[in-house]
């Protein structure tokens, strides 16, 4: 009887939108080292040199960068204070295009995590549902999440708040 062929399970693909800057790049770098069996993709309009073999950097806007990825190929997309952070209308329109693309790129059951300003969470939740996402959960940031990067720490020190959105395909 012939042996069953060995089928390699594809590595999960994790995309971080807006990962340039000392603390955000450090976070992507740390995760890529901690999880060597995953592939990390950073998308930002600024350049970032990746020194880790399972981390690829795309210098582009979020929508342009997501278009370079295959549909239904991504496990997780994360955005810390980049996607939907500013409640102004032109920023929300850009977030709308990005959320629709995120839906196409995520695998079934894939998740989009977004740390956003509380004023933006309602409109982003509505956009996510229109894009086809099945669930949207929003909760306040935890103390540990505020300490994750220098940007989130500074934001809290100034008396501002953030919420964490988990958006599931």
28 against 65, higher pLDDT: 65
Residue 79 CA to residue 31 CA, distance in Å, equals 14
Q: Which residues pair with 77 in a beta bridge?
A: 15, 112
- Residue 21 gets which letter from DSSP? S
Place of tokens 């069996």: 37
Per residue in 80-132, pLDDT tens?
A: 877 765 555 555 666 889 999 999 999 999 999 999 888 889 989 999 999 99
Average pLDDT for 129-155: 90
Residue 85 CA to residue 116 CA, distance in Å, equals 5
Domain boundary assignment for the chain:
13-168
Cβ atoms of 77 and 15 closer than 8 Å: yes
Cβ atoms of 94 and 120 closer than 8 Å: no
- Reported as type and span, the H/E element at residue 36 is none
| Chosen CATH of 13-168 out of 3.40.50.2300, 3.40.640.10, 1.20.1260.10, 3.40.50.150 | 3.40.50.150
pLDDT band at 39 (very low <50, low <70, confident <90, very high): very high
Looking at residue 41, what is its pLDDT? 92
Looking at residue 22, what is its pLDDT? 57
- 128-135 long-range contacts, Cβ below 8 Å, gap at least 24? 128/99, 128/103, 128/165, 128/167, 131/99, 131/100, 131/102, 131/103, 132/103, 132/169, 133/103, 133/167, 133/168, 133/169, 134/168, 134/169, 135/166, 135/167, 135/168
Residue 14 CA to residue 71 CA, distance in Å, equals 14
Looking at residue 8, what is its pLDDT? 73
Looking at residue 44, what is its pLDDT? 86
pTM (2 d.p.): 0.86
Q: Reply yes or no on whether the pLDDT at 135 is more than 70.
A: yes
Q: Reply yes or no on whether the pLDDT at 32 is more than 70.
A: yes
């Amino acid at each position: 009887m012939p042996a069953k062929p060995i089928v390699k399970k594809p590595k999960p693909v994790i995309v971080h939108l807006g990962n340039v800057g000392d603390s955000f790049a450090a976070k992507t770098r740390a995760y890529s080292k901690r999880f060597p069996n995953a592939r990390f993709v950073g998308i930002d309009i600024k350049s970032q040199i990746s020194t880790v073999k399972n981390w690829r950097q795309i210098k582009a806007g979020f929508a342009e960068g997501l278009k370079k990825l295959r549909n239904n190929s991504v496990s997780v997309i994360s955005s810390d204070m980049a996607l939907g952070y500013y409640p102004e209308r032109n920023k929300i329109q850009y977030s709308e295009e990005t959320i629709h693309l995120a839906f196409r790129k995520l695998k079934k059951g894939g998740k989009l995590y977004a740390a956003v300003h509380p004023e933006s969470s309602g409109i982003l939740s509505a956009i996510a549902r229109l894009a086809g996402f099945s669930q949207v959960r929003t909760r306040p940031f935890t103390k540990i999440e505020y300490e994750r990067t220098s940007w989130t720490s500074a934001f809290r020190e100034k008396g501002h708040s953030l919420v964490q959105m988990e958006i599931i395909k």
